[in-house]
A and B are shown apart, each in its own frame.
Chain A
């Protein structure tokens, strides 16, 4: 048993930390650290810097720009990015479509897409969920019908995160309506400028535009844009989702938020009183901190296992990270909202900080972050789906 990183791993962590400190845009980190919405340019600024360093796609096969990182290195990179309040390389590009094209794409697709995908010259959207296909993704209905050298796509995708920034979208479409559920699905790449595509915003509870509906009305796509074999799309989607396991618990984000909660709670109010001095509040804070510490070690245990076996197979224990990780993220946004109290809604306070008083600046996005983060236990396979996975894989029910 050994808790410490190796010498090499520590050196790597220092390298990452140093790079972040010297090269990363401070304004983006400030926004993220205060739970504010990022602009398209913010994502691009961070991603490009990482791309130039060779770290945006470090986990890709080496011949396509990968850096041959161990699972522990990948973990360290994620932790350091979260610790510094920076967005990870755009996941649709780096973790989803990129690895799929690298593993299953044609030579032409690799040549055309991999480099601009890695550099974020192409911004990808994810076209998986549909109004009738959420947790039950395989029941998707969007069709692609072969017509000569083209597919004609009809249907609707939804929850397309940052789809309004997307240049291209990778979609799961039904190519064989007679086959059983998972069997008739294909994986296809679509240029968002193609006639017949319409993107409509979905405004989420906090009032922001983050997700979209994407409508396909007789959208003609060259047949060469189909990835791999027709009707094998479900396999590629499963491969893609196995890449999601890294950093799913977002411990670094939770820890960073706990630090903020603590420092705000220690700030005296108008009466000179601090929430930090309230024993009930502090007990809740300490309980949450203990839970986060436990999850951090759970994550390291899973990581150490992967490092030892170097396997790409999804570990069902990752479902545990998803469940507890999202719960703890939500617990921290809830604590933050409690620290802010009713002031988080006060227009008066907003006026004060807009006039340059930074003492109250942090209140800005506290409530919207709480609202928005309820998504964590819903997306990426809802926590109930994760319970089903553990129930089957570990408990043997």
Chain B
């Protein structure tokens, strides 16, 4: 039993911490125009080797364990960099285990180098079950339907669609494909998102193994959790610093016990969130799929709860300042709020746990 990073991972952590802290100067979600040049940051991140960590050696990558990606995600969270890395990881982990198709090696090589970008387009509008029901369909290599909430600024999308016979397949579609219309929008956390309208779009099937997709999703969920933990860590620190420096009634706010205890509760929630995310990350590559699913849903559930508590208390303890657009903590608050609904809200994960046999055995 050991929860320390190895020396190589510590190096990775140091270099990502610097990279994202630096990147935040021009790509922080607190900046209005941060969604304009996501590609620039993605390209630089790929050059740092972040995407290589998502592909196995046989595909030209450096994958060794989920931990390296999780380290990067925590730094993304701390820095508040506007980069949809968890969604990219989702697509990359599918691609890594995908069937062979023409041009696969070249595609993966161009993604690892940062020359091309890829993400997922799985969400559909008014679909509370978070992707369990797919109305987009494929017939003879042609896709019709609508996807929502995909990340914009990507060269390729992985799209799931119902095939003839009802099975779900994953299809590769370029962003300039004929018959694809894209409607861009920006969310509260300044993510560049889009809706995708498919009208007889030709597509290549790359995978129809549900286990691969579910694995990749679990991987991405935990990646997202680590981003949230980085954010929680940061706003807990910001809050404690604020309490020490802000004076009222002639004394620092940190001298009031009720505020001290609330800040301690933020710390406890962050540590509990980290613990369960660590646990799930160590089970991602486990052969016991049921154990993995339980761990991942437990993690998202627990991290969601922590994210809500910590982000709400950060705003509360900052008082009026916490409500302002100018204050960086407010942007962490928004991102953490949206996080709770991404890749499965509490209702989704409670339902997923309900399907499992015995969550306490594991």
Which residues of A come within 8 Å of B, CB atoms?
Answer: 1-6, 9, 72, 255, 258-259, 262, 282-283, 286-287, 289-291, 293-298, 300-301, 303-305, 307-308, 317, 320, 323-324, 384, 387-388, 390-391, 394-397
Contacts A287-B301, A290-B276, A397-B254 given; indicate if A1 touches B5 (C-beta within 8 A): yes
Query: Does B305 contact A287, Cβ atoms closer than 8 Å?
Result: yes
Chain A residue with minimal CB distance to B352? Answer: A286
Within 8 Å by CB of B244, from A307, A317, A324, A397, lies A397
Within 8 Å by CB of B260, from A290, A301, A387, lies A387
Query: Does B353 contact A297, Cβ atoms closer than 8 Å?
Result: no
Bound CA span A323–B359, Å = 24
Q: How large is the interface on B (under 10, 10 to 19, 20 to 34, 35 or more residues)?
A: 35 or more
Chain B residue with minimal CB distance to A285? Answer: B359
Cβ of B354 within 8 Å of any chain A Cβ, yes or no, is yes
Kindly provide the distance from the CB of B171 to the nearest chain A CB, expressed in whole angstroms: 34
Cβ of B1 within 8 Å of any chain A Cβ, yes or no, is yes
Query: Does B4 contact A391, Cβ atoms closer than 8 Å?
Result: no
Contacts A282-B354, A324-B268 given; indicate if A396 touches B240 (C-beta within 8 A): yes
Bound CA span A259–B359, Å = 10
Kindly provide the distance from the CB of B300 to the nearest chain A CB, expressed in whole angstroms: 9
Contacts A286-B301, A294-B275, A395-B263 given; indicate if A2 touches B1 (C-beta within 8 A): yes
Cβ of B67 within 8 Å of any chain A Cβ, yes or no, is yes
Query: Does B260 contact A395, Cβ atoms closer than 8 Å?
Result: yes
29 CB-based A-B contacts, threshold 8 Å:
A1-B67, A1-B281, A1-B282, A2-B1, A3-B279, A3-B282, A3-B283, A5-B1, A286-B350, A291-B272, A291-B302, A293-B298, A293-B302, A294-B298, A295-B272, A295-B275, A297-B276, A304-B3, A305-B3, A308-B2, A320-B271, A388-B260, A388-B261, A391-B257, A391-B260, A391-B261, A394-B264, A395-B267, A397-B254
Kindly provide the distance from the CB of A224 to the nearest chain B CB, expressed in whole angstroms: 44
Cβ of B360 within 8 Å of any chain A Cβ, yes or no, is yes
Query: Does B268 contact A384, Cβ atoms closer than 8 Å?
Result: no
Q: List residues 297-328 of chain B with CB under 8 A from any CB of chain A.
A: 298-299, 301-302, 305
Within 8 Å by CB of A390, from B244, B264, B276, B283, lies B264
Cβ of B38 within 8 Å of any chain A Cβ, yes or no, is no
Query: Does B282 contact A391, Cβ atoms closer than 8 Å?
Result: no
Query: Does A286 contact B359, Cβ atoms closer than 8 Å?
Result: yes
Bound CA span A289–B295, Å = 11
Tell me which residues across on chain A come within 8 A of B263, comparing CB atoms.
391, 395, 397
Bound CA span A314–B340, Å = 36
Kindly provide the distance from the CB of A332 to the nearest chain B CB, expressed in whole angstroms: 11
Kindly provide the distance from the CB of A251 to the nearest chain B CB, expressed in whole angstroms: 12
Binary per-residue interface labels of chain B (152-177) against chain A in the complex, 1 for a CB within 8 Å, 0 otherwise: 00000000000000000000000000
Bound CA span A298–B278, Å = 10
Bound CA span A395–B271, Å = 13
Within 8 Å by CB of B279, from A2, A297, A388, A391, lies A297
Bound CA span A397–B261, Å = 10
Query: Does A289 contact B360, Cβ atoms closer than 8 Å?
Result: yes
Tell me which residues across on chain B come within 8 A of A301, comparing CB atoms.
3, 275, 278
Query: Does B272 contact A324, Cβ atoms closer than 8 Å?
Result: yes
Bound CA span A9–B1, Å = 10
Query: Does B272 contact A294, Cβ atoms closer than 8 Å?
Result: yes
Within 8 Å by CB of A395, from B264, B281, B298, B302, lies B264
Query: Does B2 contact A387, Cβ atoms closer than 8 Å?
Result: no
Tell me which residues across on chain A come within 8 A of B264, comparing CB atoms.
387, 390-391, 394-395
Tell me which residues across on chain A come within 8 A of B276, comparing CB atoms.
290, 293-294, 297
Cβ of B81 within 8 Å of any chain A Cβ, yes or no, is no
Bound CA span A226–B242, Å = 49
Bound CA span A384–B272, Å = 19
Tell me which residues across on chain B come within 8 A of A258, comparing CB atoms.
360
Query: Does A2 contact B244, Cβ atoms closer than 8 Å?
Result: no
Query: Does B243 contact A323, Cβ atoms closer than 8 Å?
Result: no
Bound CA span A287–B263, Å = 23
Within 8 Å by CB of A294, from B267, B273, B354, lies B273
